[in-house]
Chain A
């Protein structure tokens, strides 16, 4: 077996072959599913912990503070300490809540983000499921998260939760349209919805450069709509602290609250990954057609580093959004989506189709 950091295809193939030599196909399938599940779960937890730390550091940086700095060097173990605290906290049961729905709501939210993360290409050959309708699949499963939020808000039997859930529902359902349409714009450019094909197609230049103006418009719209879809500031009126305590998760405590918290950060990670994959080439290094020497130097950086780097930059931009802009009112939120983003988006789709039809996109 040869382990190659630039191409994981041989590595995953080696795992598959050695498992096949050891047991029957049925058990190979089960074992592979278990391996992928555990790997993604570990990745999920690690990224979640890191993002919470990053958010606090970025927030502190924006507000001219130091941020977490006591636990470990630069406070890097702060979130682990917080996690331990959350794990040991008591789970408070609400007397008049609908217990069944109250208990399954966090799981629906976290399952939706878990389903979406499986379809993301991390590096060459490091890709759990590669459907030919990849983007559509991600959009479909990530739309399930809102159900968990609505159920959480209603079953808590609290006014804060209910209002938070209603706001969040209206927001996510409307902004889903913009996310879908801006992705469709890029699908027109790539001619495929398969995520691996889309990444391969960006070997000679990322779509944000080769797609001219419509790609840039689509990217801006995607960033706005994706921030709204993850319920993050300035679109965080679902959990507006000053009005609604904590919105839909007011009544949750301990690890169930942690699930909502983690899912929010992971959703941010997922939308950032999708943006990196569709617009910035995923794990594909930065290539300029014609500059052979430059391209060879860029190829020395492993694909996984490229992917993580791009995702981190987009996450940083989203965090800057949160700590820069004031929160929108619900009517401003809906006006922005239905009166501005949606018409621009529809026009943008037509523009992109025209450019692709004329063959101006390379």
Chain B
């Protein structure tokens, strides 16, 4: 029972962080602060993955989202915006509509979650090491990911070539 208590405490801390910083991200009127709060949301999510003993996904979350995408966002903010810049206050009508939309989203998710009958899984935890991940990434049998892997590679390659074409200086 005691370890369950520990898990619950950690879960409450992480989920409180996620909720709090998500709200701060959308309500902050300074753009870089919003990006920083987003970083905390992503890190707390990685914490949840660590709690589930799924370290690989947690590390991917940190590298890709916290270390990659947030850095990219911050970098573009650094290039384009000034420290004195603040967003205007949102007009009341938009604010009300936004709150209603968010509330609707919360209501639908909560209804689905609460009505679904979760059954505890009694499967043995699998030790997800590098070999397992590598093999399932490139296998075409059951639980294989070779098709999405290849499709995404082609997509990324196309995006990279496109970026180079755009960035390339035109010959005068």
Residues of A within 8 A of B (CB): 24-26, 29-30, 96-98, 100-101, 104, 131-133, 136-137, 139-141, 143-144, 146-147, 150-151, 153-155, 157, 162, 165-166, 169, 173, 176, 187, 191-194
Contact = CB atoms under 8 A, between A and B. Distances in A.
A154 B32 contact: yes
B66 interface: yes
A292 B64 CA distance: 47
B32 A101 contact: yes
Interface string B1-42: 011011000000000000000000000001011001001000
Contacts of A151: 32, 36, 74
A36 to B, nearest CB: 16
Contacts of B131: 191
A26 B6 contact: yes
A169 B75 contact: yes
- Tell me which of A165, A193, A194 has the highest count of chain B C-beta atoms within 10 A of its own C-beta: A193
- Say whether chain B's binding surface is mostly helix, strand, loop, or mixed: helix
Given A154-B78, A162-B78, A137 B55 contact: yes
B130 A166 contact: no
A146 B78 CA distance: 13
A155 B129 contact: no
A139 B63 contact: yes
A154 B130 contact: no
A73 to B, nearest CB: 44
B69 to A, nearest CB: 11
Contacts of B70: 147
B56 interface: yes
Given A29-B6, A154-B32, A154-B83, A133 B66 contact: no
Interface of B: 2-3, 5-6, 30, 32-33, 36, 39, 43, 55-56, 59-60, 62-63, 66-68, 70-71, 74-75, 77-79, 83-84, 127-131
B2 A26 contact: yes
B79 to A, nearest CB: 8
Contacts of B68: 143
A238 to B, nearest CB: 13
Contact of B74 (A98, A133, A150, A191): A150
B6 A150 contact: no
B56 A133 contact: yes
Contact of A153 (B33, B55, B60, B78): B78
Shortest Cβ-Cβ A-B pairs, 9 listed = A143-B67, A140-B62, A26-B2, A140-B63, A140-B59, A131-B55, A25-B2, A132-B129, A136-B59
Nearest to A143: B67
B33 A100 contact: yes
Nearest to A104: B36
B71 A150 contact: yes
Contacts of B32: 98, 101, 151, 154-155
B77 A154 contact: yes
A193 B130 contact: yes
Nearest to B70: A147
Contacts of A29: 3, 6
B78 A194 contact: no
B62 A96 contact: no
Nearest to A165: B78
Nearest to A141: B62
A192 B30 contact: no
A187 B77 CA distance: 36
B30 to A, nearest CB: 7
Contacts of B6: 25-26, 29-30
Contacts of A173: 71, 75
Given A98-B32, A136-B59, A192 B130 contact: yes
Nearest to B79: A166
B85 to A, nearest CB: 11
B75 A96 contact: no
Contacts of A100: 33
Contacts of B56: 133, 136
B4 to A, nearest CB: 9
